[in-house]
Amino acid sequence: MINGTRSWILVALLATTITLPSRAAEDAAVLKDLTAVIALLGLPCGQVVSAKRLKDDDHIATCKDGKRYRVFINAEGRVVAQRQP
């Protein structure tokens, strides 16, 4: 019984270890995409250093200089970035 429990714990730890780098890579890609979107919209930012996902295609992006933008897709299907206080 104890060996079976240890096996399940090992499997759970391995699964967590394998998925963490994948999530980190995904997060880095989101930050890069948000940086590009804000730049293409002509807004000052420089680089997005963190982002909070509100829902699908809706994020709060925090720039290196401290500015924050809500980046989302509006009802017309266009990407919009609104400066947040």
Average pLDDT over residues 16-33: 64
Give yes or no for a contact between 72 and 61, defined as CB atoms under 8 angstroms apart: no
pLDDT band at 23 (very low <50, low <70, confident <90, very high): low
Note the pLDDT tens digit of each residue in 30-81: 999 999 999 999 999 999 999 999 988 899 999 999 999 999 999 999 999 9
Residues 81 and 38: beta-carbon distance below 8 Å: yes
- Structural tokens at position 17: 């270890």
Give φ, ψ of 10 to 5 degrees: -60, -45
Render pLDDT for 4-13 as a digit per residue (tens, 0 to 9).
455 455 444 4
* pLDDT number for residue 28: 87
* In the chain, where the domains are located: 2-84
Instruction: Specify the pLDDT at position 1.
Output: 45
